[in-house]
Amino acid sequence: MKISARNVLKGTVKQVITGVVNVEVVVTLPGGQEVVSIITKESANALNLSQGKEVYAIIKASSVIIGAD
């Protein structure tokens, strides 16, 4: 797999929460941090997602917003 995104984080599916239209996927990274993504049910089925499966969280954004108190 070759992609143009620079932020590719390997992790493990912690939880798959199926909604009416979309699926929320919680991915645990090696350091314990979590990344959450909302994808279509069709995509989740095509990827055969389930708890414990190794996956990649691929992040590509045109902007990154930083906030502080």
Dump pLDDT digits (tens) for 10-63.
999 999 999 999 999 999 999 999 999 999 999 999 999 999 999 999 988 777
Non-local CB neighbours of 37 within 8 Å, separated by 6+ positions: 24, 25, 27, 57
All structural domains of the chain, each given as residue ranges with its CATH number in brackets, are: 7-59 (2.40.50.100)
Predicted TM-score (pTM) of the model is 0.85
3-state secondary structure of 45: helix
